[in-house]
Amino acid sequence: MAAEIREHEVATEELTQYIERIERMNEDKKAIADDIKDVFAEAKAMGYDAKGMRRMIALRKLEKEARDEQDAIDETYRNALQIL
């Protein structure tokens, strides 16, 4: 019985530690998101377009082949919709 209680306590402590770590990470994530928002606001104040910057960030994440494929699809759709 005592061994079962001790195992339960250890599991509770471990679970608490995991939850607390996740909570701290979520706080960090919010702080970083706020910092990113501030940078976009700063760039906007200097005349840059935040939406365009977000598109460039997304494009930079893609491999060249994926970017080229997306460009081809976009061009095909623009042509089909006569958006030149």
Cα–Cα dist 78/65, whole Å: 20
**Residues above pLDDT 90, as percent of the chain:** 86
Delimit the domains of the chain by residue range. Answer: 2-80
Give residue 84's pLDDT.
76
Q: How confident is the model at residue 10 (pLDDT cuts 50, 70, 90)?
A: confident
Instruction: Report yes or no: 43 and 50 within 8 Å, Cβ to Cβ.
Output: yes
Cα–Cα dist 58/62, whole Å: 7
- 23: burial class by Cβ within 10 Å (0-12, 13-18, 19+)? exposed
Q: For residue 67, count other CB atoms closer than 10 A to its CB.
A: 14
- Residue-wise pLDDT for 36-55, tens only, equals 999 999 999 999 999 999 99
